[in-house]
């Protein structure tokens, strides 16, 4: 099984956004990954609904929106209206996580939970069967181009065990430091979705880089 590829627009050329959107449309990428940062939960500010709306106008593939913000419940409808198809909120910011997840689902979006590198996967035991994806951060959130955290491989395996135990259909998304070198091992260990920012957009041939990421295959589980 090949992974879904979700290029992260945090690394895109914002002066030529339409051009990068069309590049993704014409590539083997599956989703657009959009990181929304508020400067409170993470030490950076990225973009909000106006940029997402602009991308949605031209995107021919689903928008995978990752909210790195506090109080995400206040903005769920706003991101739905902007064009989000998938919406992931951070475990670390949601006091009433079950309610937040079902509010996302009630808005007819796929619901995901993002977890920081230091957050263990067992915190998802009570809700893993009710979500569509886990966005596992493999760098500390806030900036693109960071170095991949090697302990992510073991964490993926632990998450796979939890998904199996709970008979969940949740997909495992890896976000941060994904490149052509570690992508095959991430997929072999159980990753379903690869988020790649600078690896794609800083490439001399982004379409070819996406195609190479797409070729990674999951090992057969006996």
**Hey, what are 78's tokens?**
């706003």
Selection from 58, 8, 50 nearest residue 30 by Cα: 8
Q: Which residues contact 118 (CB under 8 A, 6 or more apart)?
A: none
The catalytic position among 35, 64, 132, 192 is 35
**Range list of β-strands (E), the chain:** 4-7, 32-37, 63-68, 86-90, 110-115, 133-137, 171-175, 193-196
Starting at the edge strand found earlier in the chain, the sheet holding 171-175 runs: 4-7, 193-196, 171-175, 133-137, 110-115, 86-90, 63-68, 32-37
Q: Any catalytic annotation for residue 30?
A: no
Residue count of the chain, please give it: 222
Q: Any catalytic annotation for residue 38?
A: no
The DSSP symbol for 30 reads: -
The catalytic position among 30, 38, 132, 175 is 175
Catalytic positions, written as ranges: 35, 175
């Amino acid at each position: 099984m090949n992974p879904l590829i979700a290029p992260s627009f945090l690394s895109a050329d914002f002066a030529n956004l339409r051009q990068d959107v069309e590049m993704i449309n014409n590539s083997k990428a599956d989703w657009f990954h959009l990181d929304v940062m508020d400067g409170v939960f993470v030490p950076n500010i990225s973009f909000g609904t106006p940029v997402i709306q602009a991308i949605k106008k031209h995107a021919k593939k689903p928008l995978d929106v990752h909210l790195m913000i506090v109080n995400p419940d206040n903005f769920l409808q706003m991101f739905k209206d902007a064009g989000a198809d998938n919406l992931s909120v951070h475990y670390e910011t949601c006091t009433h996580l079950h309610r937040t997840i079902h509010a996302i689902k009630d808005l007819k979006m796929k619901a995901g939970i993002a977890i920081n590198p230091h957050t263990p996967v067992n915190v998802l035991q009570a809700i893993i069967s009710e979500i569509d994806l886990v966005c596992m951060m493999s760098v500390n959130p806030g900036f693109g181009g960071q170095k991949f955290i090697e302990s992510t491989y073991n964490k993926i395996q632990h998450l796979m065990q939890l998904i199996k135990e709970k008979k969940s259909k949740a997909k495992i998304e890896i976000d941060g430091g994904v490149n052509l070198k570690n992508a095959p091992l991430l997929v072999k260990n159980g990753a379903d979705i690869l988020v790649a920012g600078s690896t794609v957009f800083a490439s001399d041939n982004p379409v070819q880089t996406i195609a190479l990421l797409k070729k990674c295959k999951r090992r057969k589980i006996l």
